[in-house]
Amino acid sequence: MTTQHILTLNAGSSSIKFALFEHDAGPRETMRGQIEGLGSAAPHLQARLRGASLRDEPLDARRATDHETALAVVIDVLQSAVGRTTVDAIGHRIVHGGLVFTQPIVIADDVPARLETLNPLAPLHQPHNLAGLRAAHRAFPDALQVACFDTAFHRTHPWVSDTYALPRRLYDEGVRRYGFHGLSYEYVVSRLKEIAPREEKGRVVVMHLGNGASMCAIRDGRSIGSSMGFTALDGLPMGTRCGQLDPGVVLYLLQEKGMTAEAVTDLLYNHSGLKGLSGLSQDMRELEQAGTAEARQAIHYFVDRIRREIGAMAAVLSGLDAVVFCGGIGEHAWQVRESVCEGFDWLGIALDKSRNRAGETVISSDDSRVRIFVISTDEEMMIAQHAAELLDERR
């Protein structure tokens, strides 16, 4: 079988993550990297080739003004490292698929315009995902373009986990709980199937904790409930997003404080969460090192909301067999994991502190009824696998 190549793109507001995979019997990662600081005075490129550092350097600001110019840099990096490799497929992370897009698809001509109508539901992500998609189509017109949706994994929700107590016509129009980080949860489930098949078939709560943070209740590998809802604002506090909020607060800000809808959007998406609570940073590493009362309070609030959600999801699942930490904070902040698990013996969660601090994959104690895992999530691999399946169908 001829080796093909799959490029994955995850375009954010000020960054673009990329990975290159060889594909014959299945995708194998060759290169991975990211460009951060798009549109800023100091963009930065990092890239690794087969696990070894390839590039780690600042970029001329003119080379990373937007996703199209950044993609040109990505192409240069690919060509300098692996030659003029033909890219057979490009897999894109698209945050919101709405009601229609419930599985990975080959992108037809009308798809970008249809996805654009969902921009208001994911304003921090969707426009940039689509900008990366269009730039990739111009750069690689002959490649199979594949869209993979973060909301798709959650379309198995029961009705009660999908709806709000609003007039039914709004639900029918699409005002419902969608859930996000689906590609991450899908990958974690696939890893659990390999390392803990008994737990994968059971009742699992997965915590994707990073600059964006959410939790998912999973039974038999299927999403039953998610902390995120109609948009990526709901649920846990995040780096700069508020998480769960009484909707009356929004009405108050609009009516009593005279804020515009645009100003409220900016507040809730960009100036809240850990950054807003601490007055310092959205970076958990900085908050742990800062030692200020505000930083400690921000971390405590973050942990408290996670603990509340574990209790709620255990109720939804009628018990727990496993919990999983993933995402940047979940994978690296052992103090957060320790605080989250503390005092949950009544639910069967018992942490082994030495395993936790060593960053082992299984961090529960031997007598814990609920197994606790730390799994490095890999959305790029999940996207590559979906792109490979569609590429194989075409071939």
Q: For residue 203, give the nearest of 331, 344, 307, 313 by alpha carbon.
A: 313
Quick one: 145 and 223 in the same domain? Answer: no
Does a structural domain hold residue 175?
A: no
Pairing label, strands 89-94, 52-58: unpaired
pLDDT digits (tens, 9 = 90+) for 124-183: 789 989 988 988 888 889 999 999 999 999 999 999 999 999 999 999 999 999 999 999
Quick one: 205 and 313 in the same domain? Answer: yes
How far, CA to CA in Å, does 16 sit from each of 56, 69, 138, 276?
Answer: 15, 11, 16, 25
- Lookup: tokens for 275: 């950054």
Does a structural domain hold residue 346?
A: yes
Average pLDDT value for the chain: 94
**More confident position, 37 or 200:** 200
Does a structural domain hold residue 168?
A: no
Quick one: 274 and 136 in the same domain? Answer: no
Question: Lowest-pLDDT range, 8-22, 152-166, 362-376?
Answer: 8-22
Alpha helices in 19-158 (DSSP H): 67-82, 111-116, 126-139
Quick one: 289 and 359 in the same domain? Answer: yes
Quick one: 213 and 350 in the same domain? Answer: yes
Please give the helix or strand (H or E) that residue 315 lies within, else none: helix 293-317
Quick one: 70 and 219 in the same domain? Answer: no
What backbone torsions phi and psi does residue 57 show, to the nearest 5 degrees?
A: -155, 155
pLDDT digits (tens, 9 = 90+) for 234-287: 999 999 999 999 999 999 999 999 999 999 999 999 999 999 999 999 999 999
Q: How many domains is the chain built from?
A: 2
Quick one: 266 and 368 in the same domain? Answer: yes
pLDDT digits (tens, 9 = 90+) for 46-69: 999 999 999 999 999 999 998 888
Quick one: 141 and 242 in the same domain? Answer: no
How sure is the predictor about 1, in pLDDT bands with cuts at 50, 70 and 90? low
Question: What is the set of active-site residues?
Answer: 150
How sure is the predictor about 71, in pLDDT bands with cuts at 50, 70 and 90? confident
How sure is the predictor about 75, in pLDDT bands with cuts at 50, 70 and 90? confident
Predicted structure pTM score: 0.94
Quick one: 31 and 125 in the same domain? Answer: yes
Quick one: 25 and 118 in the same domain? Answer: yes
Residue 14's contacts (CB-CB under 8 Å, 6 or more residues apart) are 36, 37, 38, 39, 40
How far, CA to CA in Å, does 380 sit from each of 48, 74, 111, 186, 238?
Answer: 14, 15, 21, 12, 22
Does a structural domain hold residue 189?
A: no
Residue ranges making up the domain that contains 88: 4-149
Quick one: 314 and 202 in the same domain? Answer: yes
Amino acid (one-letter) located at 66: D
Does a structural domain hold residue 187?
A: no
Does a structural domain hold residue 391?
A: no
Quick one: 66 and 130 in the same domain? Answer: yes
Residue 97's contacts (CB-CB under 8 Å, 6 or more residues apart) are 115, 118, 147, 149, 150, 151, 152
Give the domain CATH number at 308: 3.30.420.40
Residue 131 to residue 67: CA distance in whole angstroms: 7
Does a structural domain hold residue 134?
A: yes
Mean pLDDT of 69-92: 88
Residue 352's contacts (CB-CB under 8 Å, 6 or more residues apart) are 363, 364, 365, 366, 368
Q: Quick check: 186 and 179 in contact, CB under 8 A?
A: no
pLDDT digits (tens, 9 = 90+) for 288-334: 999 899 999 999 999 999 999 999 999 999 999 999 999 999 999 99
Does a structural domain hold residue 392?
A: no
